[in-house]
Chain A
Amino acid sequence: QKEVEQDPGPLSVPEGAIVSLNCTYSNSAFQYFMWYRQYSRKGPELLMYTYSSGNKEDGRFTAQVDKSSKYISLFIRDSQPSDSATYLCAMSKAGNQFYFGTGTSLTVIP
């Protein structure tokens, strides 16, 4: 079993829709949770960073962590064509060891 599972999609939505991206994990020791956005043939860009459980909001983006269910989500409100990218979830225990999902490909159609 992989430590982090992420639905690869592809996901296609109309402009303005709310997008929900999700990851599940198996290791209860994970405490740090990240979402990255990666455009084609570019390096991943850190979008959201959360420690432990709860919600974090930044503009149109909201990250949620539910440690009891071992489930994390990224919501994108009022999605734009520029949001079209691959979204990677990542998580870490202490000690700078990182575990990644395989990424979800998102297309926002104008």
Chain B
Amino acid sequence: DGGITQSPKYLFRKEGQNVTLSCEQNLNHDAMYWYRQDPGQGLRLIYYSQIVNDFQKGDIAEGYSVSREKKESFPLTVTSAQKNPTAFYLCASSDRGQEKLFFGSGTQLSVL
């Protein structure tokens, strides 16, 4: 089945620790995205990538980093510089020219 796989489903971060959220897609989509979702605030764009080895900051990139070494993979690292990381993180992808966004099942990150 084609889709977007996010792991883990739940993740806990200790203070000062970096953690990495995984996102893999087998839809052969060019573009991939990371969003943060907080209650009552909707989706906020963290980073996006339109092509391998290239990515751009979104609206709330501070304290986060990404890489895009393969077309199917777009991992997100939440660094210790992100002081309020507790949120639901969503990975998404789209095919160039289709203008439709497809989402993974999400990762809930909490601080210990």
**Does B85 make an interface contact (CB < 8 A)?**
no
Q: How many residues of B contact A (CB 8 A)?
A: 23
Q: Is the CB of B101 within 8 A of A43?
A: no
B-facing residues in A20-49 (Cβ within 8 Å): 31-32, 34, 36, 41-46, 49
Q: Is the CB of B96 within 8 A of A96?
A: yes
A43: which of B40, B48, B96, B106 is its contact (CB, 8 Å)? B106
B residues in contact with A36, CB < 8 Å = 103
B residues in contact with A41, CB < 8 Å = 88, 106, 108
Q: Is the CB of B101 within 8 A of A101?
A: no
Q: Is the CB of B101 within 8 A of A90?
A: yes
**Does B66 make an interface contact (CB < 8 A)?**
no
A-facing residues in B90-112 (Cβ within 8 Å): 90, 94, 96, 99-106, 108
A residues in contact with B96, CB < 8 Å = 96
B residues in contact with A98, CB < 8 Å = 33, 94, 101
Q: Is the CB of A96 within 8 A of B42?
A: no
| Known contacts A41-B88, A96-B50; A8 and B40 CB within 8 A of each other | yes
| Known contacts A43-B90, A49-B100, A90-B101; A100 and B43 CB within 8 A of each other | yes
A-side residues, CB < 8 A to B, are 8, 31-32, 34, 36, 41-46, 49, 51, 88, 90, 92, 94, 96, 98, 100-103
Add 15 more A-B contacts to A32-B99, A34-B101, A41-B108 (CB < 8 A): A34-B100, A43-B6, A43-B104, A44-B90, A46-B102, A88-B42, A88-B43, A92-B99, A94-B99, A96-B48, A96-B99, A100-B42, A100-B43, A102-B40, A103-B42
